[in-house]
């Protein structure tokens, strides 16, 4: 990943994704999580304060060592057991049907193959398990999409391969999930090309 990816980018993401304005969205996406949960793209643990009491443990999948270190304060403040349990969302080190729920926030934009990562989540979820997702991606408006395609090369260079143009709903369905709740919107205060979000839950068959 190089010095930028290993030592600088995790700090930028921790600051940019840790804004107070985003906390209501994290609270919404974490609502209803229960049992054993796998979270891909754990980052610096920005979702940790919003885990419901019904969560019994969390397996955190995060490749960046610095991200895990930045999570320390949040991990010490929670009563939910959290263990770093993998480095790659595309290859999860868990048995089939191991988890009750999964969580992904602003992660599918960055993994090299989002469908592979989603199929891995399906594999490790129990039948009827739920994926809670909050992702930015391809905007619903054509005018905004044109800007996303223009900005995508710069976005990928600056933010570790992050794409603005991934069709989140299509990716979920391609991976075999059934979407049960969905809200598509633009984040308040964010430029529309960067703030086109999809928030919801999807069911594993």
146-155 tens-digit pLDDT: 999 999 999 9
Report the DSSP beta bridge partners of residue 199.
134, 183
| Contact between 91 and 120 (Cβ < 8 Å) | yes
Cα gap 89→74, rounded to integer Å = 22
Average pLDDT of the chain? 95
Interval 16-30 mean pLDDT: 93
- pLDDT, one tens digit per residue, over 31-51 is 999 999 999 999 999 999 999
DSSP letter for each residue of 149-187: HHHHHHHHHHTTT--S---HHHHHHHTT-EEEEEEEEEP
| Contact between 19 and 102 (Cβ < 8 Å) | no
The lowest-confidence range among 4-8, 18-22, 68-72 is 4-8
- pLDDT greater than 60 at residue 1: no
Interval 176-203 mean pLDDT: 97
115 DSSP 8-state letter:
H
Interval 171-191 mean pLDDT: 97
Instruction: Work out the burial of residue 66: count CB atoms within 10 Å of its CB; fewer than 13 is exposed, 13-18 middle, 19 or more buried.
Output: middle
- pLDDT, one tens digit per residue, over 57-109 is 999 999 999 999 999 999 999 999 999 999 999 999 999 999 999 999 999 99
């Amino acid at each position: 990943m190089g010095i930028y990816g290993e030592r600088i980018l995790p700090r930028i993401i921790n600051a940019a994704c840790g804004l107070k304005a985003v906390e209501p969205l994290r609270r919404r996406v974490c609502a209803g999580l229960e049992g054993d949960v796998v979270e891909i793209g754990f980052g610096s643990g920005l979702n940790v304060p919003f885990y419901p009491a019904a969560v019994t443990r969390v397996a955190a999948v995060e490749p960046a060592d610095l991200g895990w270190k930045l999570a320390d304060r949040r991990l010490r403040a929670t009563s939910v057991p959290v263990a770093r349990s993998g480095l790659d969302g595309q290859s999860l080190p868990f048995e089939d049907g191991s988890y009750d729920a999964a969580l992904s926030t602003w992660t599918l934009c960055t993994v090299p193959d989002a469908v592979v990562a989603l199929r891995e989540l399906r594999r490790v979820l129990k039948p009827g398990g739920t994926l809670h997702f909050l992702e930015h991606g391809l905007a619903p408006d054509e005018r905004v999409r044109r800007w996303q395609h223009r900005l995508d090369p710069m976005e990928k260079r600056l933010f570790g391969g992050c794409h603005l143009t991934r069709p989140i709903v299509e990716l979920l369905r391609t991976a075999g999930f059934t979407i049960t709740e969905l809200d598509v919107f633009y984040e308040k205060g964010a430029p529309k090309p960067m703030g086109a979000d999809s928030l919801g839950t999807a069911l594993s068959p």
